[in-house]
Structure 1
Amino acid sequence: MSIRVRRVYASPEPQDGVRVLVDRLWPRGLSKDAARVDEWPKGLTPSTELRRWYHADERSYEEFAERYEAELAAPEAAELVEHVRELARKGDVTLLTASKSPEQSHAAVLARLLEA
C-alpha cells in the first residue's frame, strides 16, 4: 500500500496510481485533462468552517489536524475514507491538493489517517 500526497499542478507520474483530488473546489487554471483525476470525493474535504478557521490567523496545524480527523469520523466521510483505503490496498494512491504546502495541509492529515 502506497499513499502519496502531491500538488495537483505537478505533472502526473506513472507511480501515482489512482489519483484522488481531495480539495472541495476544482484547482484554478487547471483543465480536467491535464489534472488526470480519477476520483473526486468532495466529502473528504474539510468543512468550509474548519478551512476558514485554519486560514484565519496562522492557526495551529496540530489543532487543525485534530478537528479534521473528527470531521472524517462522521459516517459519510468515514465511508469515503474506507473507500480510499480500499483503493490503496489494491495499489498506489496519490492524494492531490492545490495547497502550496501539501505537507501542512488536510491531504497530509488524510494520508496519515489512511496509513494507520
Structure 2
Amino acid sequence: MALKRAYEAASPDDGLRILVDRLWPRGVSKEKADLDDWMKDIAPSTALRKWFNHDPAKWAEFRQRYKTELAQHPEQMAKLRELAQKQKVTLIFGARDTEHNEAVVLKDVLTAT
C-alpha cells in the first residue's frame, strides 16, 4: 500500500488509485486524478477535518479520533483490505503535509491488521 498526493502525476506503478478525501482536491481534473475509486465515506468527518485543520500539534488527538470514526465503517475498511490483498493500492490525498493527513492514519490502520 502506498500514499500519494492528488497533485502528483499518476503512474502505472500506483496500481489501484483510491481518493480518501471527503472533498475533491482543488484544481485537479478527473482526468488528471486518474482514480479508480473515491471512498469519501471513510474520510474524516467534516467536523473532525475542520477541527484538525492540518495542525501538527493536534496530530495525536486527530489520529485517535479518526481511528474511532474508521471503526464505524467496517464494510469500507473490509473492502479496502481485500483490494490491498489482491493488488497494489495507492491512497490518494490532497493535503500538502505528507506526514500529517488522513491517508497516513488510514494506511497505518489497514496495515496493522
2:85 pairs with 1:86: no
Q: Distance in 1 between matches of 2:16 and 2:54?
A: 32
Instruction: Give the secondary-structure state (helix, strand or coil) at the position aligned to 2:53.
Output: helix
Q: Match of 1:43? A: 41
Stretch of structure 1 that moved more, 94-103 or 58-67: 58-67
User: CA offsets, 1:92-115, max 9 Å, x none?
Assistant: 000000100122101000000110
TM-score (norm 2): 0.93
Unaligned runs of 5+ in 1: none
TM-score (norm 1): 0.91
2:91 pairs with 1:100: no
Instruction: Give the secondary-structure state (helix, strand or coil) at the position aligned to 1:104.
Output: coil
Alignment coverage as a number of residue pairs: 112
User: CA offsets, 1:68-102, max 9 Å, x none?
Assistant: 0000001xx22111101111000100000010012
Q: Match of 1:54? A: 52
Q: Distance in 2 between matches of 1:58 and 1:16?
A: 27
Letter in 2 for 1:4: A
Letter in 1 for 2:104: A
Letter in 1 for 2:99: E
Q: Match of 1:19? A: 17
Taking only aligned residues, the RMSD between alpha carbons, in angstroms, comes to 1.4
2:104 pairs with 1:113: no
Letter in 1 for 2:108: R
